[in-house]
A and B are shown apart, each in its own frame.
Chain A
Amino acid sequence: MELNLAAIIFVAILANNILLHQFLGVCPYMGVTKRIETSVGMGMAVIFVMTIAAIITWVIYNFLLVPFDLGYLRTIAFILVISSLVQLVEIVLKKTNPTLFRALGIYLPLMTTNCAILGVAILNVQMDHNIIQTIVYGIAAAIGFTIALVIMAGIRERLDLVNMSSMLQGAGVTLITAGLISMAFMGFSGIMTL
Chain B
Amino acid sequence: MDFIQSLALVGGLGLIFGGLLAFAARRFAVEEDARVETICDLLPNANCGACGFPGCISFAEKVVSGEASVDSCIPGGKETTDNVCEVLGVESTGVDDKKVAEVYCLGTKDVAHDKFEYQGVQECKAALAFGGGFKACSYGCLGLGDCVRVCPFDAIYMADNGLPVVDLELCTGCGNCVKACPRDLIRIVDAERIGKYVPCSSKDRGKATREACEVGCIGDGKCAKVCPQEAITVENWLATIDSEKCDDCGECVPACKREIIKDVPKVTVHH
Inside 8 A of B9's CB, which chain A residues have their CB? 64-65, 68, 70, 73, 77
Q: Are A91 and B25 in contact (CB under 8 A)?
A: yes
Q: Is A183 an interface residue (CB 8 A)?
A: no
- Give chain A interface residues in 85-111, CB to chain B under 8 Å: 87-88, 91-92, 94-96, 98
Q: Are A91 and B14 in contact (CB under 8 A)?
A: no
B137 to chain A, nearest CB (A): 24
Stretch at the interface among B16-24, B65-73, B151-159: B16-24
Inside 8 A of B13's CB, which chain A residues have their CB? 60, 64, 77, 80-81
Q: Is A130 an interface residue (CB 8 A)?
A: no
Inside 8 A of A88's CB, which chain B residues have their CB? 20-21, 24
A60-B16 Cα distance, complex, nearest whole Å: 13
Inside 8 A of A169's CB, which chain B residues have their CB? none
Decide yes or no: A95 and B5 within 8 Å by CB, A80-B13, A84-B21 being known contacts. Answer: no
Q: Is A1 an interface residue (CB 8 A)?
A: no
Chain B interface residue bracket vs A: 10 to 19
Inside 8 A of A68's CB, which chain B residues have their CB? 5, 9
Q: Is B90 an interface residue (CB 8 A)?
A: no
Inside 8 A of B34's CB, which chain A residues have their CB? none
Q: Most A CB atoms within 10 A — which of B14, B18, B20, B21? A: B21
Q: Is B268 an interface residue (CB 8 A)?
A: no
Decide yes or no: A77 and B10 within 8 Å by CB, A68-B5, A91-B28, A94-B28 being known contacts. Answer: yes
> Which 4 residue pairs across A and B have the least CB separation, nearest first?
A84-B17, A95-B28, A91-B24, A91-B28
A-side interface residues toward B, CB under 8 Å? 60, 64-65, 68, 70, 73, 76-77, 80-81, 84, 87-88, 91-92, 94-96, 98, 166
